Every structure is written in structure tokens, then in C-alpha cells.
Structure 1
Amino acid sequence: MRTERLDAPQLLALAEELAQLLTDTVHDGASIGFLAPLDRAAAVAWWRERADGVDAGRLAVWAARDGGRVLGTVTLAFADKPNSRHRAELVKLMVHRDARGQGLGRALLTVAEDAAVAAGITLLHLDTETDSTAERLYDSAGWTRAGVIPDYAASPAGVLRPTTLYYKKLGAGVHAPTR
């Protein structure tokens, strides 16, 4: 399996494969911002819309592929305000059902954390559905729970669920990031 950071043209070229991963993740019940059933065309469009953010440096997207098939992805969303350029949000960590339980989620998380450090990011944050399998990953990877917000987002089935906020300090001090 190979994990690579995607530039905008690569993301556009892989939009169909990325959409398949997104629909699989949503249809399996992961609360990542979409309701089920997620239309494939809508998933492709969503990924294509990310290309501008990647091109502008606001997003960094990695895809894990086995051959041509995308089995996982993770994204860092960089803050754009001058007082918050030391932090980034970890978003859309997804692993295809067929690849779960093999360490891919941990590997993608490590790739994102290492890239954040290399970019001068000293603080990462994320939110995830409370009591989800993702929580176990973040807990075991040294992330700190900041709290729980009730009824934060709807599950793919449309049921309001609580969300746990996490953060991870990557280094000391605040300095200008290099992306």
C-alpha cells in the first residue's frame, strides 16, 4: 500500500475513487458530515470542490492506495487567520471497510501528524462522533479529549449525536508555519 500527498490535479484525477471511499464510509455509518444514502455524483462533486483548497495550500490531502484503489484518506485543514496559523484541523480520516483493522487509520494519522510538524504546526484539533471506533484510535494515539458537545451533528441516519473534541500538541511555542 502506498500513501501520497495529493496535489490538485491528482485529487481531480482520483475524484471517482475518493468518492467511492466516501460513500462506503458514510454507508457504513461514519458521521463525517453526510447523510445516507450519499449519492455518488454528490460525493464526486464534494471531492472536486476540495481541489481549490489543495491548490491554495488551505488543505493537504493524503490518499492510501493499493494499486489504483483508494483505501484511505486523511486531510489537514490549515487555519487562515494570522493568530491561528500554528494550528490545523484533522478532517475526513476515512478507511474503507475492506481495509479496517489493519493499522491503516493509525498510519494515516501518523502521516498527517508528521506533515503537520514539518509544516511548523504545533497544535492539531478534530471532532469525532462520541463512542465511535475513531475515538479509540485518537485515545490510543495520544490525543487529548477536550470535551463533548451534545446533539452536535446528525449521524448518516439523521439522528443527532454528541461529538467529542480532541487536540494534540505537537511542539512547544508558537511560530510561523511553513507550508
Structure 2
Amino acid sequence: MYTVRRLAAGELRDSAGPLAELLVDTVGSGSSLGFLAPLDAAEAAGWWRALAPDVAAGRLLVWAAHHDADHRIAGTVQLRPATPANGRHRAEVAKLMVHRADRGRGLAGRLLTALESAAVEHGIRTLVLDTETGSPAERLYAAAGWTRVGTVPDYATDPSGTPHATTVFYKALPAEPAAGADVRPGRDKL
């Protein structure tokens, strides 16, 4: 079982090492997420720590899934709300990662569910994301009710530097939280 919780800025800084291990594992398994392989753990930890000011300011929301048995971080996802006055109803989903040892257990879907519930609570009605075309992530988003917009050829590279097409998705969310939803930080027990 896993516990999914939204991280405060201090928790993000304190978790930079374990989050770096997850990022290194994810890049090492073929998902670039904006990084090239091999990814140095110290560089990855520094990248996580650098996100703390955005988390503190509410410009970025980050969830971590902890494995209940050993408390390690098994997955994470980010939500970046739009800042323009005419776009505060939308946000970008980024950096969905699940450690190789935890894949195939529904954890990515659980992270997305926690993120989507919190997005609704924050008045966000439209989510967007992009992912490598043909990847397992593309199939995950389609199965989770996301709508495929199209592809952009050679948009990003894989960890080895080879360009690949990217698929863009969006998801329309309900205007109100589901009855009984509790999306406060630390309340997403799954």
C-alpha cells in the first residue's frame, strides 16, 4: 500500500535525496523528463531543491507516494497552475514518475487522481500535459480519460539524446470536488 501526500516546500527540500533517487531511476529506465542519461544523483537532488521556492509560493504543487512498508518514495507528480489572469482555470501536469520496482500496481493512476482532486479544489478545470508518443505513459493517460490533442514531431529527446515525437493531452475536470473529497496536504491515503 502507498500513501500519497502533497509536499510542503520544507518537505520537498528534506526529500530531495529520495526524490533524486526516483528521478535517476526514471531517467535510467528510458523516460527523459527533460534530462539526459546518465543523470547524476547530486544534480537531480539540486534540481528538486530548486523547486522549493515555487512550492512555497503556490506556483507548483508536488505529490509524493510513499511505500507504507519501507517509507521510500515510490512515485511523484507535479501540477503547475497557470499564472495569467485569463488562465487561472488551467494547469500543466508534469513529471509523473513511478519507480521501476513499483510499476504495474496502479500507483500512477492514484497520483493522477490525487492531483486531479486537488486541482478541482483549487478551481482548476482544464489540465494539459505532454508525453513521449508511443510510450507506456501515453497509454496510461488515454486509459485515465485524457483526450489526445495531437503530436509534435521531434519535440523532445529520450535520455540518450534521440529526438522523439510528443503527444499532447488535455483533461476537462468537473467544476466542484466530488462529495466527501478531502484534498488537504497529507490526507491522500490510497
In structure 2, how many angstroms separate the alpha carbons of the residues matched to 1:90 and 1:121? 12
Deviation at 1:144, TM superposition (A): 0.3
Superposition pairs of residues 9-24 of structure 1, within 5 angstroms: 9-24=10-25
Superposition pairs of residues 4-83 of structure 1, within 5 angstroms: 4-66=5-67, 67-83=70-86
SS in 2 for 1:3: strand
SS in 2 for 1:105: helix
> In the alignment, is residue 129 of structure 1 matched against residue 101 of structure 2?
no
In structure 2, how many angstroms separate the alpha carbons of the residues matched to 1:170 and 1:158? 35
1:152 alignment counterpart = 155
Please list every run of 5 or more consecutive structure 1 residues that lacks an aligned counterpart in the other structure: 173-179
2:90 alignment counterpart = 87
- Alignment identity in percent? 56
Deviation at 1:68, TM superposition (A): 2.7
In structure 2, how many angstroms separate the alpha carbons of the residues matched to 1:131 and 1:49? 31
In structure 1, how many angstroms separate the alpha carbons of the residues matched to 2:32 and 2:138? 12
2:183 alignment counterpart = none
TM-score (normalised: structure 2): 0.89
Deviation at 1:81, TM superposition (A): 0.8
Please list every run of 5 or more consecutive structure 2 residues that lacks an aligned counterpart in the other structure: 176-190
2:179 alignment counterpart = none
In structure 1, how many angstroms separate the alpha carbons of the residues matched to 2:48 and 2:95? 11
SS in 2 for 1:11: helix
In structure 2, how many angstroms separate the alpha carbons of the residues matched to 1:31 and 1:40? 15
Q: Is the 8 A contact 1:116 1:122 kept in 2?
A: yes
Name which of 96, 100, 108 aligns with 1:97: 100
Higher RCO (C-alpha 8 Å, min separation 6):
2
1:12-61 CA-to-partner distances (Å, cap 9, x unmatched) read 01000000000000000013110000011110000001101000000000
1:100-127 CA-to-partner distances (Å, cap 9, x unmatched) read 0000001001111111111110000000
> In the alignment, is residue 140 of structure 1 matched against residue 143 of structure 2?
yes
1:124-164 CA-to-partner distances (Å, cap 9, x unmatched) read 00000000000111000110000100000111010000000
SS in 2 for 1:20: helix
Aligned residues: 173
Q: Is the 8 A contact 1:31 1:129 kept in 2?
A: no
Q: Is the 8 A contact 1:123 1:171 kept in 2?
A: no
Deviation at 1:171, TM superposition (A): 3.0
Superposition RMSD on alpha carbons, in Å? 1.1
TM-score (normalised: structure 1): 0.94
> In the alignment, is residue 162 of structure 1 matched against residue 165 of structure 2?
yes
